[in-house]
Amino acid sequence: MSTNPSMQAFTPVAPLVESDPARIKEVFASQLETALRWRVSTANERIARIRKLRDAMMAQREAFYEAFMQDYRKSPAEVEASEFLPVMDEVRHAIGRIKRWMKPHKVWPTSTMLGTSGWVQYQPRGRVLIIAPWNYPLSLCFGPLVSALAAGNTVMIKPSEMTPAVSALMGRVISEVFPQSEVALFEGGTATSQALLDLPFDHIFFTGSPAVGKIVMSAAAKHLTSVTLELGGKSPTIVAPSADIRLAAETLMWGKFLNGGQTCVAPDFVYVHESVKDAFIAECRKIIHARYGATAHEQKHTSDLTRVVNQRHTQRVASLLYDALTRGAAIQAGGEVDVAQCYIAPTLIDHVPPGAQILEEEIFGPVLPILPYTQLDAVIADINARPKPLALYVWSRDRKEIDNVLMRTSSGGACVNHCVMQFAHGELPFGGVNNSGIGNAHGHFGFKAFSHERAVLRSSPLMLVKMFYPPYTEARRRIIRKVVDMLRMPML
């Protein structure tokens, strides 16, 4: 057999085994005492926990390479760039900021609160659940875990059963660092997820599809549990006539085909102005050939393209492609599919007619539809007619055109002349809006997602509130009326 990693056969994995529901309940109960104790944990204690997690994860660096190769042939370079790097950045950011984040935030009194002082106290939510996806199984599990630990919570984790090698390794790392009364990971499928969702957690952080997000939100509602939902959707891209076509093609071919197209913020389809469409496609072809190979054989055997996670998802993406082709779409690059090998070539298609499934469903694979346009207003109307996406990308050198797109559309995040990188910016909130998510993550926003912002007010001897006490004499009524009238004045 070839030594090329892309040619290694998938290693058979053990049949799926669900975690014991009784054990899940025992661990959940054991975390209550820890959560109450950790409510008063210091910044240094939280930093120590994060450092232990970081060191244990990095000690398994080579083992993670092997696990990712086994699960879906993800190259070590891409494991470093898209799995380790985001977690390490989250760790570094949290360690350097926890003390500042934990400090009570003082607020000025409003006009009616003169004589009082107030502040916001950041408390751990308590026992939290993290349900992580399969597409970035390490980054999207340990990243939120760092935020949860920074905020002082105990954690129970459900990784994806679709990347069993990585999930098992993460479980070993966590068991080396934490007793289950602090952090516990449970492997399994739907039954394990349901057993966890039946418990009254203080917060649930879920990353996955909008369809499953609705199930998680419904389960959380039974206990009035707060949620952070990092979902997905069809993230549109606009390439305007003023765009730097070469740079747009270089960046979009990276953002689209990173992780085999299995990225929640990947460009899902591209509106390209008719005047630059041919030039854009030509540049994209050149870049695909330079990065993955000039022939179909070279592309299939490259070690630089992550495979689709399993045969079922490969068939799903292939079905979207075939549906578009039967409706009249044309392949401009790629198009090769091998379901048995979980392989789909980096593919560009155009002439995609309205009604094609690939324009309605999130692709989550290495296929990019290109849609020509002539009027930007029509593109904006089309975007606004769809569910709000997790990301939106616009390529243009016209400031008014850029502002027009940003002001008239809604998305979880956006990039101008870039793509995907908003996810990696630790000082920006990462999250969706409506169908693409609820709440934010990363950095300070992740800390706040796992914290309760408690309002605290302290009185002073002045006690102006006494003027509002009964009995309501005529004199007191006039005073209250004057106070209300004063509030009509502009705020200084």
- Active-site option among 230, 283, 284, 419: 230
Burial class (CB in 10 A: 0-12, 13-18, 19+), 492: exposed
**Rounded distance between C-alpha atoms, residue 262 and residue 6, angstroms:** 17
- As given in the structure block, the two tokens for residue 371 are 């849609």
Burial class (CB in 10 A: 0-12, 13-18, 19+), 126: buried
- Active-site option among 264, 284, 342, 419: 264
Closest CA to 249 of 221, 224, 285, 216: 285
Closest CA to 82 of 166, 172, 175: 166
For the chain, what is the radius of gyration of the CA atoms? 26
DSSP string, 328-341: T-EEEE---EEGGG
**Rounded distance between C-alpha atoms, residue 131 and residue 195, angstroms:** 12
**Rounded distance between C-alpha atoms, residue 278 and residue 41, angstroms:** 59
**Rounded distance between C-alpha atoms, residue 167 and residue 173, angstroms:** 10
- As given in the structure block, the two tokens for residue 338 are 């091998």
Does 230 qualify as catalytic in the annotation?
yes
- Active-site residues, by number, are 230, 264
